Amino acid sequence: MRQLNLNSIKAKAEGDFKNITPGAYACIITEVTDNENKEYLDALFDIQVGEFEGYYSSDFYKDKPWAHHMILSYKEKALPIFKGRMEAITKCNTGFDAVAALDAGQYKMLEGKVIGIVFREEEYFDKKTSEFKLGGARAFRFCTTKDIQDGKNANPKPKMLDHDGKIDALKRAGVASNDDDAEDWLAEYENDKAAPAASRANTSTTTDDDIPF
């Protein structure tokens, strides 16, 4: 066994990793890169305050930028949403004008700025268990820090897969090779899920004979 230096290591209990809970958090934009060919800014962020402060600064996330970024598209059809996001950044940072910074070509000025970000759970297909589940909360839109202070976005609804989304997920997972097979698999899956619920409903039904008076 090689010589270890544990004196400078902070101990961490197994199973001590805590997932972010759905809600809105004040975050800081740590890095912004421009993908001019595809017309979007890629903004990395970390949580600035609260229980999950510095969540993405751990070694675990150093090679996982996809876990803490927002794609800010500035394609023509996305410009209204893009401007709304810039205005949200402006409202969160007194004395800073995000729109003016971009008009001057200074998108890097967004780095170090505060922004509220809403995290929600998203449904996905788990290949290991062959089940549809809710995954950990992920960033999906901006908000203002005032919204957070006012308690808005505290309990965002999870993003559920629609029927077509489930069919695509099954094909990507290799469970089905075509739409027909995926439809059959999904129908059987949903019937199996519905059966226990129906059984519980039947067993909870009371009759006059069950009433002791």
166 CB neighbour count, 10 Å cutoff = 20
Mapped onto helix, strand or coil, the DSSP state of residue 163 is: helix
Query: Does residue 139 contact residue 68 with C-beta atoms inside 8 Å?
Result: yes
- DSSP letters along 40-93, please? EEEEEEEE-SSTTTTGGGSGGGTT-GGGGEEEEE-SGGGHHHHHHHHHHHHHHS
pLDDT at residue 54, rounded to an integer: 94
Rounded to whole angstroms, the Cα distance separating 205 from 45 reads: 52
Q: What is the pLDDT of residues 26-81, one digit of tens each?
A: 999 999 999 999 999 999 999 999 899 999 998 889 899 999 999 999 999 999 99
Q: Structure tokens of 132?
A: 């549809």
Confidence of residue 102 (pLDDT cuts 50, 70, 90): very high
Total-model pTM: 0.79
Lowest-confidence pick of 37-41, 57-61, 82-86, 118-122? 57-61
| Neighbouring-strand partners of residue 63 | none
